[in-house]
A and B are shown apart, each in its own frame.
Chain A
């Protein structure tokens, strides 16, 4: 059948657009759709038809700009609806496949020039959509970083505020030393320490390629973390139960593991109801050490579990989750050669960090007596 690609596209418009939509819907899975998103590919299709109609040997500058601009709007909409960069590229690929599929079914022929123009239009559209998608995503990430920095500063200021008020009360003799206000001062300084350590953990995770390996037992770090956590638990009338095999240990970066488990513990305290229970369990499972932090948060809807370790995801309105705690924990554990997972239990969540088990290095043997 001898028919120009232009005429073929004009005749088969609905069939091709419908086939493209089918493919993009399959790619989108359960992601949301919108009127604007649905109009994206038809707009491109009509632009493509326009280009072919002109029967030029290349795509004109004005057509290029128009295709790029409308593809940019399509890319922007895909980002807004939570699609990935892969979807952006595949959505145009879907249309290309639909065109070739319908052409094959109807035995239509496509000349080399038409094929060149089709590919060029696709290139322009994909480049326009990807550029806009990436540019906006980068801006969103920057904004999130700023919000995150602001949240850390806000938390630090709150702790500093409490420390300053406590210090003034103590230094002016309004309250006596060694009482509850001294404890507030101590806790405020501890809070600042936690925030600074968490920020430094983030920095280390981003810039340090090496980890400082040393042997330590799990009970060592858990005991250290529980001392601070029990103060907060006391306020919330929560109970922390430690069930850690004192013999188990690992050879890895102590500070990264303290940061990771500390974040999990803070998370458990924050989301467990008042008077609830938190458990920290450490045990050997085959060749691995499993550290479990169990809480009574009421559980996480299955649809949200997948997003739990994504940046800036907060499952509740509690402000103290700066949106990165669980992600930092996961990255830290993985950097140490382990894994971090979460599952629902009867009335809460269980976060499980697994690390390769290691024996304590043997003591150096005494030399021969001379």
Chain B
């Protein structure tokens, strides 16, 4: 069952950056169903532009390979654009790869095609559920 945002609390926001429009659509539907506000960007360039104009989202889900730049390149450019932004805004790679190399990203969620584990991972990173709770959700899959 979809969960609703806690009453009287402003919903948290997640930015999804992916150059696949279908992935953006699915990400939006699934995350909005969970009560998050969702911002989407279909390229690294567009995401950098949006991030320079809006209040920082609570979490960024970042594709590793995009048509205009890689996820790593995006992080580098973001740090040049806003040197301290990564201190308060977790950026998590969301990728079909088995693993991702070390970087300034806060973590990695694998595109495994399972909504429940995806949501549990997102909650884990955004802090609505503790990491232990998120892991236990994953273990139940």
Contacts and interface: CB of A to CB of B under 8 A. Distances in A.
| Pairing of A with B | yes
Interface of A: 154, 157-158, 160-166, 168-169, 174-175, 180-181, 184, 187-188, 235, 270, 316-320
A278 B67 CA distance: 18
Contacts, number: 61
Contact of A184 (B25, B67, B97, B111): B25
Interface stretch (B16-24, B80-88, B100-108, B130-138): B16-24
A161 B113 contact: yes
Contacts of A319: 65-67
Interface in B37-54: none
Give the residue among B2, B30, B66, B113 with the most A Cβ atoms within 10 A: B113
A194 to B, nearest CB: 14
A169 B21 contact: no
B115 interface: yes
B127 interface: no
Given A154-B97, A184-B26, A317-B68, A235 B21 contact: yes
Contacts of B67: 270, 316-320
A180 B111 contact: no
Interface string B1-25: 0100000000000000000111101
Contacts of A168: 113-115
Interface residues of B, number: 24
Contact of A162 (B23, B70, B114): B23
Given A318-B67, A319-B65, 17 more contacts: A154-B96, A158-B20, A160-B113, A162-B20, A163-B113, A165-B26, A165-B30, A169-B26, A169-B115, A175-B29, A180-B25, A181-B25, A181-B26, A184-B25, A184-B26, A270-B67, A317-B70
Interface of B: 2, 20-23, 25-26, 29-30, 33, 65-70, 96-97, 111-115, 118
Contacts of B65: 319
24 contacts: A157-B111, A158-B20, A158-B96, A161-B96, A162-B20, A162-B22, A164-B113, A165-B30, A165-B113, A165-B115, A168-B113, A169-B26, A169-B29, A174-B2, A174-B33, A184-B22, A184-B25, A184-B26, A188-B22, A235-B21, A270-B67, A317-B68, A317-B69, A317-B70
A235 B24 CA distance: 11
Q: Which 4 A-B pairs have the closest CB atoms?
A: A164-B113, A319-B65, A161-B111, A161-B113
Nearest to A188: B22
A180 B25 CA distance: 8
Interface of A is mostly: helix
Contacts of B97: 154
Contacts of A316: 67
A164 B115 CA distance: 9
Nearest to A316: B67
A180 B27 CA distance: 13
A164 B30 CA distance: 13
A232 B97 CA distance: 23
A168 B115 CA distance: 8
Contacts of B115: 165, 168-169
Contacts of B21: 235
B20 A181 contact: no
A270 B11 CA distance: 36
Contacts of A162: 20, 22-23, 26, 113
A316 B69 CA distance: 10
A174 to B, nearest CB: 6
A166 B114 CA distance: 10
Contacts of B26: 162, 165-166, 169, 181, 184
Contacts of A163: 113
Contacts of A270: 67
A164 B96 contact: no
Contacts of B2: 174
Contacts of B68: 317
Contact of A187 (B22, B33, B118): B22
B47 to A, nearest CB: 15
A188 B111 CA distance: 14
Nearest to A181: B29
B136 to A, nearest CB: 21
A202 B118 CA distance: 35
A175 B115 CA distance: 13
B114 A164 contact: yes
**Which of A181, A270, A319 gathers the greatest number of chain B CB atoms within 10 Å?**
A319
